[in-house]
């Protein structure tokens, strides 16, 4: 939750309470499109001098990212309350992946009060309402992604407004809500199947004619 935000952790990152902290969470692999996170960070540094990039996670692409971005923080693999503190202590979540299906990290970031910059793809386009919970960019439009990340980075009032809306949205789309919706779909399918077995759909077709 946002209440897990801690200036102690931010200080370990080399960030003050006023530093803009960009966060990326997940496996560090080439297919995650993490070069775009670094690219966005570099462009943001040109307009927000007091900013920091934090990677949470590990993987085969870590050494490449470290060579590309030695000034970033590589926090490694985190779980539980410690992971929650990492989410809540950041200010903006960058999620450039086009290979995720559900994208749990997006939901986790939103539940921690973070606005998200993502592509309009898979679960992100269902979770995020643009200008309320973050920004959605047409899939694969990398230059637009960087531009939108920069725009949100320099607009603190907009980020703060989004921060107040992301957690309620995440709770709405959390696992309990998802399971309830799934149950509703299954019940509807069962009703449809029962109707088909009793011949009701054929009766509807006759009436329609």
Tens digit of pLDDT per residue, the chain (209 long)?
888 999 999 999 999 999 999 999 999 999 999 999 999 999 999 999 999 999 999 999 999 999 999 999 999 999 999 999 999 999 999 999 998 767 789 989 989 999 999 999 887 888 888 889 999 999 999 999 999 999 999 999 999 999 999 888 888 876 555 555 556 656 777 777 776 666 654 444 333 33
The count of structural domains within the chain is 2
Co-location of 127 and 152 in the same domain = yes
Looking up residue 66, the CATH number of its domain turns out to be 3.40.50.2000
Q: Which two tokens stand for residue 175?
A: 């696992």
Co-location of 102 and 203 in the same domain = no
pTM above 0.75, yes or no: yes
Please give the C-alpha separations between residue 119 and each of 18, 128, 180, in angstroms, as whole numbers. Answer: 27, 10, 27
Q: Which two tokens stand for residue 131?
A: 């200008």
Q: What is the phi/psi pair of residue 111, to 5°?
A: -65, -20
- Which among 83, 159, 79, 94 is positioned nearest to 124, based on CA atoms? 94
| Residues linked to residue 92 through DSSP beta bridges, in sequence order | 22
**68 exposed, middle or buried (CB, 10 Å; 0-12, 13-18, 19+)?**
middle
Co-location of 160 and 185 in the same domain = no
Q: Which domain holds residue 189?
A: 176-208
Co-location of 119 and 180 in the same domain = no
Q: Which two tokens stand for residue 73?
A: 């923080």
């Amino acid at each position: 939750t946002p209440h897990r935000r801690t200036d102690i952790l931010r200080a370990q990152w080399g960030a003050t309470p006023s530093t803009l902290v960009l966060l990326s969470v997940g496996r560090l692999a080439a297919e995650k499109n993490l070069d775009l996170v670094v690219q966005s960070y570099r462009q943001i540094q040109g307009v927000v001098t007091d900013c920091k990039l934090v990677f949470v996670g590990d993987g085969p692409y870590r050494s490449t990212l470290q060579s590309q971005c030695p000034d970033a923080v590589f926090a490694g693999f985190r779980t539980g309350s410690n992971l929650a503190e990492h989410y809540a202590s950041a200010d903006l979540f960058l999620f450039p992946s086009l290979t995720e299906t559900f994208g749990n990290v997006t939901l986790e970031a939103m539940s921690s009060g973070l606005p998200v910059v993502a592509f309009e793809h898979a679960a992100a386009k269902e979770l995020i309402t643009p200008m309320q919970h973050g920004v959605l960019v047409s899939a694969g439009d990398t230059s637009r992604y960087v531009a939108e990340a920069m725009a949100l980075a320099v607009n603190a009032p907009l980020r703060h407004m989004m921060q107040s809306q992301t957690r309620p949205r995440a709770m709405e789309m959390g696992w309990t809500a998802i399971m309830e919706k799934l149950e509703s779909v299954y019940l509807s399918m069962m009703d449809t199947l029962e109707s088909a077995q009793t011949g009701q759909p054929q009766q509807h077709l006759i009436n329609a004619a």
